[in-house]
Amino acid sequence: MIAPTLFRCAPRLPVVMLLLAVVAGLFASPAARAADRVVTVAVMEATPPFSYRESDGTLTGFNVEIMRELCRAMKASCTFEEVKFQDLAAAVSSGRYDYGLANFLRTPEREQIMAFSAPYWRSSSSLIGSVRELEKPLADAVRGRTVVIIGGSRQHAFMKRLEGEVKKLVVVRHLENVWEVLNAREADFTLLPTLAALPYLMSQTGKDFTTIGLPNSEDGLGGTVHIVMPKGRDDLKTAIDEAIGAIRVDGSYQRVNRQYFPFDVF
Protein backbone atom coordinates (compact mmCIF):
# COMPACT_ATOMS: atom_id res chain seq x y z
CA MET A 1 0.00 0.00 0.00
CA ILE A 2 2.97 2.34 0.36
CA ALA A 3 3.57 2.68 -3.37
CA PRO A 4 -0.01 3.73 -4.26
CA THR A 5 0.05 6.30 -1.44
CA LEU A 6 3.23 7.84 -2.77
CA PHE A 7 1.76 7.81 -6.26
CA ARG A 8 -1.33 9.68 -5.09
CA CYS A 9 0.74 12.33 -3.26
CA ALA A 10 3.28 12.96 -6.03
CA PRO A 11 1.07 15.08 -8.34
CA ARG A 12 0.34 17.43 -5.43
CA LEU A 13 4.01 18.30 -4.79
CA PRO A 14 4.26 21.14 -7.39
CA VAL A 15 1.13 22.74 -5.89
CA VAL A 16 2.60 22.57 -2.39
CA MET A 17 5.86 24.09 -3.60
CA LEU A 18 3.97 26.91 -5.32
CA LEU A 19 2.01 27.66 -2.14
CA LEU A 20 5.23 27.72 -0.12
CA ALA A 21 6.78 30.19 -2.59
CA VAL A 22 3.75 32.48 -2.35
CA VAL A 23 3.85 32.41 1.45
CA ALA A 24 7.59 33.14 1.42
CA GLY A 25 6.96 36.12 -0.82
CA LEU A 26 4.31 37.49 1.50
CA PHE A 27 6.68 37.32 4.45
CA ALA A 28 9.75 38.62 2.59
CA SER A 29 11.35 41.65 4.19
CA PRO A 30 10.21 45.10 2.97
CA ALA A 31 13.81 45.76 1.88
CA ALA A 32 13.82 42.71 -0.37
CA ARG A 33 10.50 43.69 -1.96
CA ALA A 34 11.70 47.31 -2.35
CA ALA A 35 14.69 46.10 -4.34
CA ASP A 36 12.27 45.15 -7.11
CA ARG A 37 10.98 48.74 -7.37
CA VAL A 38 12.05 50.68 -10.46
CA VAL A 39 12.61 54.43 -10.13
CA THR A 40 12.43 56.53 -13.31
CA VAL A 41 14.89 59.42 -13.42
CA ALA A 42 15.23 62.34 -15.84
CA VAL A 43 18.65 64.02 -16.16
CA MET A 44 19.86 66.87 -18.35
CA GLU A 45 21.37 65.80 -21.62
CA ALA A 46 24.92 66.79 -22.61
CA THR A 47 25.75 68.75 -19.44
CA PRO A 48 29.19 67.73 -18.14
CA PRO A 49 30.24 67.23 -15.41
CA PHE A 50 26.67 66.57 -14.21
CA SER A 51 25.26 64.24 -16.88
CA TYR A 52 26.90 63.23 -20.16
CA ARG A 53 27.91 60.28 -22.31
CA GLU A 54 31.38 58.75 -22.26
CA SER A 55 33.01 57.95 -25.60
CA ASP A 56 31.64 54.41 -25.34
CA GLY A 57 28.10 55.70 -24.81
CA THR A 58 27.96 55.13 -21.05
CA LEU A 59 25.81 57.68 -19.19
CA THR A 60 27.69 59.19 -16.26
CA GLY A 61 28.33 62.44 -14.41
CA PHE A 62 27.97 63.79 -10.88
CA ASN A 63 24.16 63.82 -10.91
CA VAL A 64 23.95 60.37 -12.50
CA GLU A 65 26.37 58.74 -10.06
CA ILE A 66 24.80 60.46 -7.04
CA MET A 67 21.39 59.22 -8.16
CA ARG A 68 22.73 55.69 -8.55
CA GLU A 69 23.92 55.84 -4.93
CA LEU A 70 20.54 57.22 -3.86
CA CYS A 71 18.75 54.37 -5.61
CA ARG A 72 21.05 51.91 -3.87
CA ALA A 73 20.19 53.52 -0.52
CA MET A 74 16.47 53.30 -1.40
CA LYS A 75 16.96 49.63 -2.38
CA ALA A 76 15.51 50.36 -5.81
CA SER A 77 16.80 50.11 -9.35
CA CYS A 78 16.82 53.31 -11.39
CA THR A 79 16.39 53.87 -15.11
CA PHE A 80 17.69 57.09 -16.63
CA GLU A 81 16.48 59.15 -19.54
CA GLU A 82 18.17 62.27 -20.89
CA VAL A 83 15.87 65.27 -21.27
CA LYS A 84 16.49 68.82 -22.49
CA PHE A 85 16.80 71.21 -19.57
CA GLN A 86 13.97 73.35 -20.91
CA ASP A 87 11.61 70.31 -20.95
CA LEU A 88 12.60 68.60 -17.71
CA ALA A 89 10.39 70.48 -15.24
CA ALA A 90 7.23 69.82 -17.26
CA ALA A 91 8.17 66.16 -17.75
CA VAL A 92 8.61 65.61 -14.01
CA SER A 93 5.59 67.64 -12.89
CA SER A 94 3.37 65.64 -15.27
CA GLY A 95 4.41 62.42 -13.51
CA ARG A 96 6.31 61.03 -16.46
CA TYR A 97 9.35 60.57 -14.18
CA ASP A 98 9.69 59.92 -10.46
CA TYR A 99 12.68 62.22 -10.07
CA GLY A 100 14.49 64.89 -12.05
CA LEU A 101 18.06 66.15 -11.66
CA ALA A 102 18.68 69.42 -13.49
CA ASN A 103 20.52 71.43 -10.82
CA PHE A 104 17.26 73.13 -9.85
CA LEU A 105 17.32 75.98 -7.36
CA ARG A 106 14.15 76.25 -5.30
CA THR A 107 11.93 79.12 -6.47
CA PRO A 108 8.26 80.03 -5.79
CA GLU A 109 7.44 79.50 -9.48
CA ARG A 110 8.91 76.01 -9.53
CA GLU A 111 7.30 75.11 -6.21
CA GLN A 112 3.91 75.61 -7.83
CA ILE A 113 4.46 72.67 -10.17
CA MET A 114 7.04 70.40 -8.47
CA ALA A 115 8.11 69.11 -5.06
CA PHE A 116 11.71 69.48 -3.89
CA SER A 117 14.04 67.15 -2.03
CA ALA A 118 16.40 68.15 0.74
CA PRO A 119 19.46 69.98 -0.69
CA TYR A 120 22.19 67.81 -2.18
CA TRP A 121 24.71 70.46 -3.26
CA ARG A 122 25.13 74.26 -3.25
CA SER A 123 25.39 76.38 -6.37
CA SER A 124 26.81 79.75 -7.43
CA SER A 125 27.12 81.43 -10.83
CA SER A 126 30.19 82.85 -12.56
CA LEU A 127 30.66 85.22 -15.44
CA ILE A 128 33.00 83.60 -17.97
CA GLY A 129 34.98 85.52 -20.59
CA SER A 130 38.32 85.87 -22.30
CA VAL A 131 41.43 85.85 -20.14
CA ARG A 132 42.14 89.28 -21.66
CA GLU A 133 39.02 90.82 -20.08
CA LEU A 134 39.44 93.16 -17.13
CA GLU A 135 38.06 92.20 -13.73
CA LYS A 136 34.79 94.09 -13.24
CA PRO A 137 31.52 93.63 -11.36
CA LEU A 138 29.07 91.56 -13.40
CA ALA A 139 26.72 94.40 -14.39
CA ASP A 140 29.62 96.62 -15.47
CA ALA A 141 31.36 93.84 -17.41
CA VAL A 142 28.33 92.96 -19.59
CA ARG A 143 27.23 96.53 -20.33
CA GLY A 144 27.19 97.00 -24.12
CA ARG A 145 28.47 93.45 -24.71
CA THR A 146 27.03 90.19 -26.09
CA VAL A 147 26.24 87.37 -23.63
CA VAL A 148 25.42 83.73 -24.49
CA ILE A 149 23.09 82.02 -22.05
CA ILE A 150 21.27 78.69 -21.62
CA GLY A 151 17.57 79.28 -22.18
CA GLY A 152 15.24 78.76 -19.22
CA SER A 153 18.02 78.81 -16.63
CA ARG A 154 18.21 81.04 -13.57
CA GLN A 155 21.15 82.75 -15.24
CA HIS A 156 18.91 83.49 -18.23
CA ALA A 157 16.26 84.99 -15.93
CA PHE A 158 18.93 87.20 -14.34
CA MET A 159 20.35 88.39 -17.66
CA LYS A 160 16.87 89.23 -18.98
CA ARG A 161 16.70 91.87 -16.27
CA LEU A 162 19.83 93.44 -17.78
CA GLU A 163 18.64 93.35 -21.40
CA GLY A 164 18.56 97.13 -21.50
CA GLU A 165 22.24 97.15 -20.57
CA VAL A 166 23.66 94.37 -22.74
CA LYS A 167 24.13 94.63 -26.48
CA LYS A 168 22.61 91.20 -27.20
CA LEU A 169 21.57 87.96 -25.51
CA VAL A 170 22.32 84.78 -27.46
CA VAL A 171 20.08 82.00 -26.11
CA VAL A 172 21.15 78.36 -26.63
CA ARG A 173 19.82 75.00 -25.44
CA HIS A 174 22.92 73.16 -24.20
CA LEU A 175 26.14 73.81 -22.32
CA GLU A 176 28.19 72.59 -25.27
CA ASN A 177 26.50 75.27 -27.44
CA VAL A 178 27.73 77.93 -25.01
CA TRP A 179 31.36 76.98 -25.62
CA GLU A 180 30.78 76.82 -29.37
CA VAL A 181 29.45 80.39 -29.40
CA LEU A 182 32.27 81.69 -27.20
CA ASN A 183 34.97 79.97 -29.24
CA ALA A 184 33.49 81.38 -32.44
CA ARG A 185 33.74 84.85 -30.83
CA GLU A 186 30.00 85.32 -31.36
CA ALA A 187 29.63 86.41 -27.72
CA ASP A 188 31.88 88.11 -25.19
CA PHE A 189 30.64 86.41 -22.03
CA THR A 190 28.49 83.67 -20.59
CA LEU A 191 26.91 83.36 -17.17
CA LEU A 192 26.88 79.77 -15.90
CA PRO A 193 26.69 77.70 -12.74
CA THR A 194 30.28 77.78 -11.49
CA LEU A 195 30.64 74.01 -11.25
CA ALA A 196 29.25 73.53 -14.76
CA ALA A 197 31.98 75.81 -16.14
CA LEU A 198 34.83 74.33 -14.09
CA PRO A 199 35.76 71.29 -16.26
CA TYR A 200 35.94 73.35 -19.44
CA LEU A 201 37.99 76.11 -17.82
CA MET A 202 40.46 73.49 -16.57
CA SER A 203 40.77 71.84 -19.99
CA GLN A 204 43.24 72.68 -22.75
CA THR A 205 40.43 73.83 -25.05
CA GLY A 206 39.20 76.26 -22.41
CA LYS A 207 42.57 77.86 -21.69
CA ASP A 208 41.56 81.15 -23.34
CA PHE A 209 38.68 81.68 -20.90
CA THR A 210 38.42 82.44 -17.19
CA THR A 211 36.01 83.63 -14.52
CA ILE A 212 35.49 87.39 -14.41
CA GLY A 213 35.08 88.67 -10.87
CA LEU A 214 33.81 86.58 -7.96
CA PRO A 215 31.12 83.87 -8.08
CA ASN A 216 27.61 85.19 -7.45
CA SER A 217 25.01 83.65 -5.16
CA GLU A 218 22.58 86.56 -4.80
CA ASP A 219 19.57 87.53 -6.94
CA GLY A 220 18.69 83.94 -7.77
CA LEU A 221 22.18 83.07 -9.04
CA GLY A 222 22.99 80.56 -6.33
CA GLY A 223 21.77 78.61 -3.35
CA THR A 224 20.87 75.05 -2.47
CA VAL A 225 20.25 72.60 -5.33
CA HIS A 226 17.47 70.02 -5.13
CA ILE A 227 16.13 66.90 -6.82
CA VAL A 228 12.57 67.46 -8.05
CA MET A 229 9.55 65.15 -8.17
CA PRO A 230 5.81 65.38 -8.91
CA LYS A 231 3.74 67.24 -6.32
CA GLY A 232 1.69 65.11 -3.95
CA ARG A 233 4.13 62.19 -3.94
CA ASP A 234 5.08 62.22 -0.27
CA ASP A 235 6.39 58.67 -0.64
CA LEU A 236 8.98 59.81 -3.18
CA LYS A 237 10.04 62.79 -1.08
CA THR A 238 10.43 60.77 2.11
CA ALA A 239 12.45 58.10 0.31
CA ILE A 240 14.83 60.52 -1.42
CA ASP A 241 15.37 62.71 1.66
CA GLU A 242 16.24 59.66 3.77
CA ALA A 243 18.57 58.40 1.03
CA ILE A 244 20.41 61.75 0.82
CA GLY A 245 21.08 61.54 4.55
CA ALA A 246 22.17 57.91 4.24
CA ILE A 247 24.77 58.45 1.51
CA ARG A 248 26.24 61.38 3.41
CA VAL A 249 26.66 59.14 6.46
CA ASP A 250 28.08 56.08 4.68
CA GLY A 251 30.63 58.11 2.66
CA SER A 252 29.36 57.28 -0.82
CA TYR A 253 28.36 60.92 -1.45
CA GLN A 254 31.89 62.07 -0.66
CA ARG A 255 33.37 59.37 -2.91
CA VAL A 256 31.31 60.54 -5.90
CA ASN A 257 32.03 64.19 -5.05
CA ARG A 258 35.79 63.53 -5.25
CA GLN A 259 35.42 61.95 -8.70
CA TYR A 260 34.20 65.24 -10.18
CA PHE A 261 35.25 68.14 -7.95
CA PRO A 262 38.35 68.95 -5.88
CA PHE A 263 36.26 70.29 -2.96
CA ASP A 264 33.06 69.42 -1.08
CA VAL A 265 30.07 70.85 -2.98
CA PHE A 266 27.48 69.97 -0.31
Q: What is the pLDDT of residue 229?
A: 98
Helix (H, G, I), strand (E, B) or coil at 169: strand
Which residues face 59 on adjacent strands?
Answer: 53
Which pLDDT does position 14 carry in this prediction?
52
Beta carbons within 10 angstroms of residue 38's beta carbon: 10
**Is 13's pLDDT higher than 90?**
no
H-assigned helices in 152-251 = 154-160, 175-183, 194-202, 234-250
The percentage of residues in the chain with a pLDDT greater than 90, rounded to a whole number, is 86
Q: What is the CATH number of domain 35-123+223-260?
A: 3.40.190.10
Quick: pLDDT tens for 200-218: 999 999 999 999 999 999 9
Average pLDDT for 18-22: 47
pLDDT attached to residue 92: 98
Topology agreement, domain 35-123+223-260 and domain 125-216: yes
The answer, yes or no, to whether residue 10 has pLDDT greater than 70, is no
Model pTM above 0.95: no
Q: How confident is the model at residue 235 (pLDDT cuts 50, 70, 90)?
A: very high
CA atoms within 13 A on the CB side of 17: 6
Superfamily for the 125-216 domain:
Periplasmic binding protein-like II (3.40.190.10)
Question: What is residue 182's predicted lDDT score, i.e. its pLDDT?
Answer: 97
Phi, then psi, of 80 in degrees rounded to 5:
-105, 150
Domain residue spans of the chain: 35-123+223-260, 125-216
pLDDT at 166: 97
Res 190 pLDDT > 80: yes
User: pLDDT (tens digit, 9 = 90+) per residue, 43-86?
Assistant: 999 999 999 999 999 999 999 999 999 999 999 999 999 999 99
User: What was the pLDDT predicted at 18?
Assistant: 47
- The per-residue pLDDT for 2 is 45
Alpha helices in 104-251 (DSSP H): 108-111, 138-142, 154-160, 175-183, 194-202, 234-250
pLDDT at 131: 96
